[in-house]
Amino acid sequence: MQRVMIITGTRKGIGRHLAEYYLEQGYFVAGCSRSESDLLSSNYSHYCLDVSDELAVKSMVSEIAKKHKRIDYLINNAGIASMNHSFLMPISMVDKIFRTNVYGTFLFCREVGKIMSKKKYGRIINITTFAVPFKLEGEAIYAASKAAVSTLSEILAREYADYGITVNLIGPPAIQTDLIRNVPSEKLDKLLQRQAIHRYGTPDDVFNSINYLLQESSSMVTGQTIYLGGV
């Protein structure tokens, strides 16, 4: 039986690596992003949508559920950041960050959770960031949005437990993608020094911890955050 996984934000960055990796593992992967994707595979479907668009998310999830009769795994990866001192942060950007990072994660958890509950099985992984425990100056809104994702996930872990669904979080350290392209290298070097392990994270580090959470034998692990790099 082929496992079915939804990953958000698969056009580029960590989400793209995740989609390619889980396709190699033989899963059916449904991904999404605001722009088209050039990822081609008979086991991959791409949906062009904004994760904060409720109707679009409902329609994507119901189409996948109808076609495959199951959704086993959800990785809420789509996310945006804007690194600015809070004096300089426009409210329109605050809105955009919360819509993508918090509303998007909530909508996918709600819609996919309902489908998973019918089979009494599911694994949800939400992506947070080291910026939360580091309380990074210049990232107040981004870190606050991910702190909201953490609390949301910890509570959903309780709400979904009776349905055989676990909800956990991975908090990667800095990984070299477009998300951190504009962060000055001196700032990144300082951040790496604050970690126990002084190197950038890689997509492999992320797969490794997600794989642990996806295992059937991880059914007792829920509401937990794995921060990588020793924050």
Ligand X SMILES: NC(=O)c1ccc[n+]([C@@H]2O[C@H](COP(=O)([O-])OP(=O)(O)OC[C@H]3O[C@@H](n4cnc5c(N)ncnc54)[C@H](OP(=O)(O)O)[C@@H]3O)[C@@H](O)[C@H]2O)c1
Residue from 78, 116, 157, 169 touching ligand X (CB under 6 A): that is 78
- Picking from 64, 78, 153, the residue whose alpha carbon sits closest to that of residue 111 is 64
What is the smallest separation between the CB atom of 152 and ligand X, expressed in angstroms? 14
Q: How far apart are the first and last CA of the chain?
A: 38
- Picking from 11, 66, 60, the residue whose alpha carbon sits closest to that of residue 39 is 11
- For residues 161 and 192, which CB has a smaller minimum distance to ligand X in the complex? 192
Question: Residue 148 interacts with ligand X (CB under 6 A)?
Answer: no
What is the smallest separation between the CB atom of 119 and ligand X, expressed in angstroms? 26
- SS3 of residue 49 by DSSP: coil
What is the smallest separation between the CB atom of 38 and ligand X, expressed in angstroms? 11
Question: Residue 150 interacts with ligand X (CB under 6 A)?
Answer: no
Residue from 11, 46, 70, 123 touching ligand X (CB under 6 A): that is 11
Cβ count within 10 A of residue 22: 24
Contacts of 18 (CB under 8 A, 6+ apart): 7, 10, 75, 77, 203, 206, 207, 210
Given the rule CB under 6 A, which of 13-21, 109-117, 150-158, 160-168 is the region that contacts ligand X?
Answer: 13-21
What is the smallest separation between the CB atom of 117 and ligand X, expressed in angstroms? 24
Question: Residue 51 interacts with ligand X (CB under 6 A)?
Answer: yes
Residue from 5, 125, 175, 214 touching ligand X (CB under 6 A): that is 175
Listing DSSP states for 126-146 in one string gives: EE--THHHHT-TT-HHHHHHH
> Do 80 and 100 touch, CB atoms closer than 8 A?
yes
The C-alpha atoms of residue 71 and residue 180 are separated, in whole angstroms, by 31
> What mask, x for binding ligand X by CB under 6 A, covers residues 103 to 142?
-x----------------------x-x-------------
The C-alpha atoms of residue 139 and residue 85 are separated, in whole angstroms, by 7
Strands (E), 60-178: 73-76, 122-127, 165-171
Residue from 153, 172, 207, 210 touching ligand X (CB under 6 A): that is 172
Q: In what order do the strands lie in the sheet with 4-8?
A: 44-48, 28-33, 4-8, 73-76, 122-127, 165-171, 225-227
Question: Residue 195 interacts with ligand X (CB under 6 A)?
Answer: no
Residue from 143, 179, 214, 226 touching ligand X (CB under 6 A): that is 179
Question: Residue 45 interacts with ligand X (CB under 6 A)?
Answer: no
Question: Residue 54 interacts with ligand X (CB under 6 A)?
Answer: no
Q: Which residues contribute to the site for ligand X (CB under 6 A)?
A: 8-15, 32-35, 50-52, 77-81, 100, 104, 127, 129, 172, 174-175, 177-180
